[in-house]
């Protein structure tokens, strides 16, 4: 969660200060926890805590916007791109409420999704040592040609073709968003099924990703299946069409960099093999959080 949160805050608002990140993450976690709670403003309830946290978060973000407007800071990031619209015609400007809503939407949409995808990837790689070893080989061959601690270049990322397939296969199998909703704007017929205007239709990504007619042996974790092209609409972890996920590239990149650092630096064991899922989460993840013990490839345990 922390890796995903820090990456999001850096990309969106260039926040890298550890104590500010900690404070923001605490508030965003309380807001996310409140999303599925019963909306009553009684002190002590999750909803109450979430609303209080939202107020605090908004105060912090507003202060950030004010500093930017006073030209004290103007880094190149998502927040700045929204503030740059201040000079646009009135109907194209974003007011502060819209800017704040956009920031919160992206943080909430991006953190727990990316974090649980990373968690499933760690789990799948632990269960499939051949895949893990092949991924490690690819990553080490890229690292060997780079100075220690150097950041990745676009070229490096392009060379992680097996790593990208591991990310893809993780997203196929983990189905971070199990389904997503649409509303029919008109009466229509799809494959013989009549759908009436106004009906809510859920696109069932899990069903598609586990369909043996589309994916041979769908329960096996096999990144090489993506050596071949997929049929249109058969791979939809990020949705499809005009409402496709806005964070596709951010999510895939965060996952790729994480598994690259993990496999090139460490081996690991999963400490808790319990497969029960977290009940309160709106995104499937293990209740245990999948704790692991890392062993450095160069030294002993950490």
Give the residue ranges of the annotated binding site for heme. Answer: 245
3-state secondary structure 3-61: HHHHHHHHHHHCCCCHHHHHHHHHHHHHHHHHCCCCCCCCCCCHHHHHHHHHHHHHHHH
Give yes or no for residue 105 binding ligand HEM (CB under 6 A): yes
CA separation for the pair 65, 218 (Å, rounded): 47
Buried b (16+ CB within 10 A) or exposed e, 97-122: eebbeebbebbebbbbbbbbbbbbbb
Q: Pick from 122, 176, 208, 262 the residue near ligand HEM by CB under 6 A.
A: 176
Q: What is the largest CA-CA distance in the chain?
A: 64
Q: Specify the stretch interacting with ligand HEM by CB under 6 A; choose among 48-56, 148-156, 224-232, 239-247.
A: 239-247
For residues 56 and 20, give the distance between their C-alpha atoms in angstroms, rounded to a whole number.
Answer: 12
Q: Does 177 bind ligand HEM (CB under 6 A)?
A: yes
Annotated binding site: 245
State the minimum distance, in angstroms, from the CB of residue 251 to ligand HEM.
4
Q: How far is the CB of 172 from ligand HEM (least distance, A)?
A: 11
Binding-site member from 150, 188, 246, 294 for ligand HEM (CB under 6 A): 246
Query: Smallest distance from the beta carbon of 111 to ligand HEM, in angstroms?
Result: 8
Applying CB under 6 A, the span of 44-52, 87-95, 210-218, 232-240 interacting with ligand HEM comes to 232-240
Is residue 282 close enough to count as binding ligand HEM by CB under 6 A?
no
286 binds ligand HEM (CB under 6 A): no
User: Which among 93, 85, 68, 51 has a CA at the least distance from the CA of 15?
Assistant: 68
215: Cβ–Cβ under 8 A, 6 or more apart, which residues? 172, 209, 225, 234
> Using the rule CB under 6 A, which residue among 31, 57, 173, 250 binds ligand HEM?
250
- Does residue 47 belong to the site contacting ligand HEM (CB under 6 A)? no
- Using CB under 6 A, pick the residue from 32, 114, 132, 222 that binds ligand HEM: 114
13 binds ligand HEM (CB under 6 A): no
The counts of H helices and E strands in the chain are 10, 6
Q: Is 77 one of the binding residues for ligand HEM (CB under 6 A)?
A: no
CA quadruple 83, 151, 104, 249: dihedral positive or negative?
A: positive
Backbone angles phi, psi at 292, to 5 degrees: -130, 155
Q: What is the distance between the alpha carbons of residues 100 and 103, in angstroms, rounded to a whole number?
A: 5
* Site for ligand HEM contains 235 (CB under 6 A): no
Q: Which parts of 115-134 interact with ligand HEM (CB under 6 A)? A: 117
Q: Is residue 178 near ligand HEM by the rule CB under 6 A?
A: no
Positive or negative: CA dihedral 48, 49, 54, 55 = positive
Q: Which of 133, 202, 220, 244 binds ligand HEM (CB under 6 A)?
A: 244
Residues in the site for ligand HEM, rule: CB under 6 A? Answer: 105-106, 109-110, 113-114, 117, 171, 176-177, 180, 237-241, 243-247, 250-251
């Amino acid at each position: 969660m922390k890796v995903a949160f820090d990456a999001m805050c850096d990309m969106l608002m260039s926040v890298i200060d550890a104590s500010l990140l900690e404070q923001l993450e605490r508030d965003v976690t309380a807001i996310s926890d409140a999303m599925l709670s019963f909306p009553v403003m009684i002190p002590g309830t999750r909803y109450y805590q979430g609303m209080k946290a939202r107020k605090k978060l908004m105060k912090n973000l507003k202060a950030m916007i004010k500093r930017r407007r006073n030209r004290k800071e103007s880094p190149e990031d998502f927040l700045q791109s929204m503030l740059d619209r201040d000079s646009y015609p009135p109907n194209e400007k974003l007011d502060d409420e819209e800017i704040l809503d956009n920031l919160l939407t992206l943080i909430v949409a991006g953190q727990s999704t990316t974090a649980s995808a990373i968690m499933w990837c760690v789990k799948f790689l632990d269960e499939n040592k051949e895949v893990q070893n092949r991924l490690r080989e690819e990553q080490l061959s890229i690292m060997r040609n780079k100075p220690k601690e150097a950041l990745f270049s676009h070229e490096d990322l392009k060379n992680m073709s097996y790593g990208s397939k591991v990310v893809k296969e993780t997203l196929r199998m983990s189905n971070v968003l199990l389904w997503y909703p649409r509303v029919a704007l008109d009466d229509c017929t799809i494959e013989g099924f009549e759908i009436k205007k106004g009906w809510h239709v859920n696109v069932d990504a899990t069903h598609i990703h586990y369909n043996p007619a589309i994916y041979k042996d769908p329960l096996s974790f096999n990144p090489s299946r993506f050596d071949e092209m997929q049929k249109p609409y058969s791979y939809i972890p990020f949705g499809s069409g005009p409402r496709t996920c806005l964070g596709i590239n951010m999510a895939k990149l965060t996952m790729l960099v994480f598994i690259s650092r993990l496999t090139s630096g460490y081996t690991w064991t999963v400490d808790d093999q319990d497969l029960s899922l977290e009940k309160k989460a709106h995104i499937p993840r293990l209740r245990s959080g999948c704790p692991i013990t890392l062993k450095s490839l160069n030294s002993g345990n950490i």
